[in-house]
Amino acid sequence: MARAMLETLTPQPPDALLALIKLYGDDPRADKIDLGVGVYRTGQGDTPVFGAIKASEQRLLETQDSKSYLGPEGDMGFVRALMPWIFGSADPTLVGRIEGMQAPGGTGGVRLALALAKKAGVAGVWLGLPSWPNHAQILADLGMEACTFAHATPAGTVDMDALRGAFAAALPGDALLLHGCCHNPTGIDHSPAQWDEIVGLFAAKPLLPVLDLAYQGLGHGMDEDAAGVRKVVAALPEALVAYSCDKNFGLYRDRVGALYVVTDDPGRMGAIVSNGHALARANWSMPPDHGAAAVRIVLEDEALTRQWLDELDTMRARMRQVRARLAEAGRVGTVDLTPVGSQNGLFSVLPLTPDQILKLRSAHGIYMAGSGRINVAGLTMGNIDKFIAALAAVTA
Ligand code: LMR
């Protein structure tokens, strides 16, 4: 039989982060520790469905009377219900300046944001490294240029000089992507004063802000974690905001996210949004409904909203506790864990060599990303001493 094209394809490596899930699953050791992919874990090591989501799913099951198509924008009740949580409800000047659409997870939101930027003529996207590896993969897949700069200094602070340099070197019409909070992978976020400076830098040069807000509520609180995004949105004429409910509603595999577009010219909103819809249609037609509907039901109900916020508070407090415990350990072998205490969200990066990371895996059953990123939620009061001892052993 004659072959046409498929034999031209060469094998691709599996996504390194997702591959860790399988490697960890295949490890028979009972005391293994998963610090790999970014999912929250309780002190017992579980990733349960939120109680508020379980209750809302029950209600959805009882009340949903059709699964007929919605449209490329998905569940607009969900999209709108999230808006005050992301953008704050206090600012009346935002009315008419922001519109959104549902997307399959935060990844779908980022994909849509960057595809929309490309359609608008953006060629180069500035990206602080290290970043979530999928940012660069999506840019490559879209045929957009990733222009990179250092996100953090070796001392563990935001590298504002590098960011200023990126603004200086960027061409008008480029985009610049920033993490809204809980930076993935470093946990090193911009301070309120740094966000003020960022707003000023954007105001001085026509660059499109693309903000990725995937961990709202996991750092310091729902309002605190959106403060930077709100500053950008309030002060600048345009922005794209990709949003994920994967972590703060625990809906990972249900793929719940959104894209919000911000413009100071409401007359242009229809054109912008219609391009988003067209891109969604060509990519996935419409987003999966179930998880977004569950989030909508939570946010439409005061008691469920309170329950969800309480659950989020518990998660955040546990991550703070683990971070404090790591920071207390101070210098372990060659690694100073002190900065982990003031970093935010699920992740921190430890300065480990590839050999040390492999040794942690093979000799101690401790799984982390090849970048040295750890998911602090994988640590519990029951395994943290083992982790610290193993870190001391491999870096001695
Ligand atoms: C992570 O960085 O581990 C998460 O955002 C999961 C993912 O999709 O990579």
Report d(CA 385, CA 90) in Å as an integer.
Answer: 45
Q: Which protein residue's CA is at the shortest distance from atom 2 of ligand 1?
A: 38
Task: Mark whether 120 and 185 lie in a shared domain.
Answer: yes
β-pairing, 256-263 with 98-104? antiparallel
- Say how many CA atoms lie within 13 Å of 46 toward its Cβ: 4
Task: Mark whether 247 and 329 lie in a shared domain.
Answer: no
The whole-number average pLDDT for the span 321-347 is 97
Which atom of ligand 1 sits closest to the CA of residue 369?
3
Per-residue pLDDT, 16: 87
CB-defined site of ligand 1, < 6 Å = 17, 37-38, 132, 134, 184
How close is the Cα of 217 to the center of ligand 1, in Å? 17
Task: Mark whether 262 and 380 lie in a shared domain.
Answer: no
Statement: residue 90 has pLDDT above 90:
no
Per-residue pLDDT, 25: 95
Question: Tens of pLDDT along 236-268?
Answer: 999 999 999 999 999 999 999 999 999 999 899
Report d(CA 60, CA 254) in Å as an integer.
Answer: 15
Question: Tens of pLDDT along 255-301?
Answer: 999 999 999 998 999 999 999 999 999 999 999 999 999 999 999 99
Burial of 206 (0-12, 13-18, 19+ CB in 10 A): middle
Mutate to test the pocket of ligand 1, among 41, 134, 135, 368 (most ligand atoms within 8 A of CB): 134
Statement: residue 94 has pLDDT above 80:
no
Among candidate residues 34, 75, 126, 132, the one labeled active-site is 132
Distance, C-alpha 81 to centroid of its chain: 20
Task: Mark whether 283 and 360 lie in a shared domain.
Answer: no
* Domain at 95, CATH number: 3.40.640.10
- Nearest by Cα to 229 from 81, 86, 83: 86
CB-CB contact of 104 with 287 (8 Å)? yes
How close is the Cα of 272 to the center of ligand 1, in Å? 28
User: How many domains does the chain fold into?
Assistant: 2
Among candidate residues 247, 254, 289, 308, the one labeled active-site is 247
Per-residue pLDDT, 92: 67
* C-alpha pair distances (Å), 184 with each of 171, 238, 269, 287, 348: 26, 24, 31, 24, 8
The residue with tokens 């916020």 is 309
Statement: residue 229 has pLDDT above 80:
yes
Structural domain contains residue 54: no
* Averaged pLDDT score across all residues of the chain: 96
- Tell me the percentage of the chain whose pLDDT exceeds 70: 99
Among candidate residues 159, 189, 212, 246, the one labeled active-site is 212
Structural domain contains residue 305: no
How close is the Cα of 40 to the center of ligand 1, in Å? 11
Mutate to test the pocket of ligand 1, among 132, 135, 186 (most ligand atoms within 8 A of CB): 132
Statement: residue 91 has pLDDT above 80:
no
- The last residue of a domain, from among 268, 300, 332: 300
Task: Mark whether 41 and 106 lie in a shared domain.
Answer: no
Report d(CA 184, CA 182) in Å as an integer.
Answer: 6
Report d(CA 265, CA 99) in Å as an integer.
Answer: 12
The residue with tokens 């295949």 is 26
Mutate to test the pocket of ligand 1, among 37, 134, 138 (most ligand atoms within 8 A of CB): 37
Determine whether 132 is an active site residue: yes
- Nearest by Cα to 192 from 231, 166, 218, 157: 231
Q: Residues with Cβ < 8 Å from 129, sequence gap 6 or more?
A: 148, 149, 150, 151
- Domain enclosing residue 27, as ranges: 13-49+317-395
* Domain at 352, CATH number: 3.90.1150.10
Task: Mark whether 231 and 111 lie in a shared domain.
Answer: yes
- Output 155 or 77, whichever has higher pLDDT: 77
How close is the Cα of 117 to the center of ligand 1, in Å? 22
- Indicate the pLDDT class of residue 84, thresholds 50, 70 and 90: very high
- Output 90 or 333, whichever has higher pLDDT: 333
Task: Mark whether 292 and 326 lie in a shared domain.
Answer: no
Task: Mark whether 131 and 43 lie in a shared domain.
Answer: no
Per-residue pLDDT, 377: 98
Per-residue pLDDT, 1: 78
The whole-number average pLDDT for the span 298-309 is 98
Determine whether 247 is an active site residue: yes
Per-residue pLDDT, 2: 80
Question: Tens of pLDDT along 124-178?
Answer: 999 999 999 999 999 999 999 999 999 999 889 999 999 999 999 999 999 999 9
Report d(CA 385, CA 340) in Å as an integer.
Answer: 16
How close is the Cα of 62 to the center of ligand 1, in Å? 32
Report d(CA 5, CA 373) in Å as an integer.
Answer: 39
Q: Which protein residue's CA is at the shortest distance from atom 4 of ligand 1?
A: 38
The whole-number average pLDDT for the span 73-98 is 89
What is the enclosing helix (H) or strand (E) of 127? strand 124-129
Per-residue pLDDT, 155: 86
Q: What is the pTM of this model?
A: 0.96
Please give the order of strands across the beta sheet that includes 208-213. 98-104, 256-263, 238-244, 208-213, 175-179, 124-129, 145-150
